[in-house]
Amino acid sequence: MTEAHPIALPKPRIVPRDAHGISRKDISPNALRVLYRLREGGFQGYLVGGAVRDLLIGGHPKDFDVATDATPEQVKSLFRNCRLIGRRFRLAHVVYGREIIEVATFRANSDDGSGDREVVDDGRLLRDNVYGTIEDDAVRRDFTANALYYTVEDFSVRDFVGGYEDVQARVLRLIGDPEARYREDPVRMLRAVRLSAKLGFTIDPAAAEPIARLAPLLESAAPARLFDECLKLFLSGHAEQSFLGMEKHGLLPVLFPETAKALVTNRSGALRKMLVQALRNTDARIAEDKAVTPAFLFAALLWPAYCRELAVLQKGGVDALAAQQRAADRVTLHQAERIALPRRFSLPMQEIWLLQPRFAQRQRKRVFRLLSHPRFRAAFDFLELRLSGTPEVADDVHFWREAQALPPEQLADRIGAAPRAPTDEDEGAPPKKRRRRRRKPSAGVRPESGAEA
Ligand code: ATP
Ligand code: MG
């Protein structure tokens, strides 16, 4: 049993309304509705967590969480549009159309002997469902910057852990003993890197130091939770910074072992170039409000693993097409042990990989078939991405860029005039006497920087 770490609480600090920059017009009207309604019901209600932090630095929070001394049942009785979720720790969701305000009862993190809190031998927190005071609720949070409370009672910010100063100094400081807090919940290490990337805050040295050492603890984190965390790391507009932070703090080898290995062995830096480009493109698309898919992102992140698996299978004499499918399956299965990538993303991810060798094929029928493939666009974007590390695909990129731009008739003419000999697969090809299928030597993925790693 690990003992609850002692946390010396400084005197609560009240930052009055004219001393901080939070204005009610930046707060979701629905969150304000919840705060006022709780107050009318005789309860305390605070805006808390990431929203207060983001408001203090002039950001625009995407969700607003509320903490209260009302029990979930009491919250439910105050709102018609409220549903209770969660079995172990019940939360109230107050639903306004597409916006959900999450209302959580103050929670304590200390063992009160009720058995409601369980810590396993290695210090991991398994259950966490004891109600408590607002001070309890503050110290169970991860970073001081995430433990600030805003109230409509006097529009002040309440600070029990020194978070206000840390936000001003833009530093992420863990509440309590960093090592103990990471052991309780290893995902906090990823949160440190993610929030630092998102906010541009530095990680306090005491919170940064244990990360590389304790990184392997993340192996025991739930794969579904790690997937959610990956989405926030890589699909919130700061993917490049997240990736560099994970690399710097030694978290990459735990989440993406093959990728981390390949980055080290790939001396030319081509792989790094490709990955960074993928992350930059993702960030740019988000900045432009364009759609991004986890399938494409994971296709890039796991590409070195795929290339390596493929090379092994092909060396073992497996036929090109079979090797591609098998390599894709193996990588997907292997990665799923760590990060639960749902099938609706892993299937298109595989398709993006499997379509790559088809860009080398220029027979008329195949060209038109590939162009109308539902995953063509993503696969082509991926081909362009490979260009940044593999100049050999330049020809293909050029051809397919043009193929997309040309009207079909002109494209047909162009392919007809292409120097490549037509095969019997070509539509409209003149009948030949000998119908022997010619196998294209280029059916496999070209050896790539990531592959040799
Ligand atoms: P984001 O802006 O990315 O949503 P956030 O800090 O709001 O960042 P959430 O996952 O929405 O992150 O969590 C809301 C709040 O819950 C946090 O601000 C923090 O106070 C608390 N919290 C979340 N995860 C943990 C954790 N693993 N350990 C302790 N407290 C946590
Ligand atoms: Mg949040």
CATH of the domain at 170: 3.30.460.10
Domain identity same for 209 and 227: no
Q: Is 18 an annotated catalytic residue?
A: no
Domain identity same for 197 and 283: no
Exposure on the CB side of residue 45, measured as CA atoms within 13 A: 25
Q: Is 65 an annotated catalytic residue?
A: yes
pLDDT surpassing 50 at residue 432 = no
Query: Is 437 within the bounds of a domain?
Result: no
Local structure of residue 116 (DSSP, 8 states): -
Domain identity same for 293 and 214: no
pLDDT surpassing 50 at residue 112 = no
Ligand 1 proximity of 277 Cβ (cutoff 6 Å): no
- What the block records as the tokens of 451 is 């592959």
Domain identity same for 188 and 52: yes
Domain identity same for 94 and 79: yes
Domain identity same for 272 and 406: yes
Query: Is 453 within the bounds of a domain?
Result: no
Ligand 1 proximity of 49 Cβ (cutoff 6 Å): yes
pLDDT surpassing 90 at residue 75 = yes
Question: What CATH number did the domain enclosing 300 receive?
Answer: 1.10.3090.10
Domain identity same for 167 and 248: no
Ligand 1 proximity of 65 Cβ (cutoff 6 Å): yes
Tell me, what's the pLDDT at 431? Answer: 42
- Domain end (from 191, 220, 249): 220
Nearest CA to ligand 1 atom 18: 49
Tell me, what's the pLDDT at 325? Answer: 97
Query: Is 420 within the bounds of a domain?
Result: yes
Structural domain count of the chain: 2
pTM of the model: 0.86
Question: Which one of the listed residues 54, 69, 137, 142 is annotated catalytic?
Answer: 142
Domain identity same for 254 and 279: yes
Query: Is 445 within the bounds of a domain?
Result: no
Q: What is the DSSP string of 234-252?
A: HSSS-HHHHHHHHHHTT-H
Tell me, what's the pLDDT at 267? Answer: 85
Query: Is 80 within the bounds of a domain?
Result: yes
Domain that holds residue 168: 13-220
Distance 443 CA to ligand 2 centre (A): 47
Tell me, what's the pLDDT at 127? Answer: 54
Ligand 1 proximity of 196 Cβ (cutoff 6 Å): no
pLDDT tens digits for range 138-190: 999 999 999 999 999 999 999 999 999 999 999 999 999 999 999 999 999 99
Ligand 1 proximity of 176 Cβ (cutoff 6 Å): no
Query: Is 374 within the bounds of a domain?
Result: yes
Place of tokens 């051809």: 399
- Domain end (from 220, 253, 269): 220
Handedness of CA 308, 309, 312, 317 (dihedral sign): negative
Tell me, what's the pLDDT at 390? Answer: 84
Local structure of residue 69 (DSSP, 8 states): S
Q: What burial letters (b/e) apply to 371-381, b meaning 16+ CB within 10 Å?
A: eeeebbebbbe
Residues above pLDDT 70, as percent of the chain: 85
Q: Is 142 an annotated catalytic residue?
A: yes
Give the Cα separation of 235 and 342 in Å (integer): 16
Query: Is 439 within the bounds of a domain?
Result: no
Distance, first Cα to last Cα, the chain: 43
Domain identity same for 256 and 371: yes
- Which pLDDT band, with edges at 50, 70 and 90, does 218 fall under? very high
Domain identity same for 138 and 213: yes
Angle between helices 303-315 and 294-301 (to 10 degrees): 50
Tell me, what's the pLDDT at 122? Answer: 65
Give the Cα separation of 442 and 448 in Å (integer): 14
Distances (CA, A) of 156 to 14, 21, 32, 449: 6, 10, 14, 56
Domain identity same for 144 and 227: no
Query: Is 452 within the bounds of a domain?
Result: no
Question: Which one of the listed residues 54, 65, 137, 159 is annotated catalytic?
Answer: 65
pLDDT surpassing 60 at residue 111 = no
Percent of the chain as helix, strand, coil, to the nearest 5: 55, 10, 35
Nearest to 390 by CA among 257, 253, 277, 258: 277
Domain identity same for 21 and 121: yes
- Domain end (from 220, 248, 277): 220
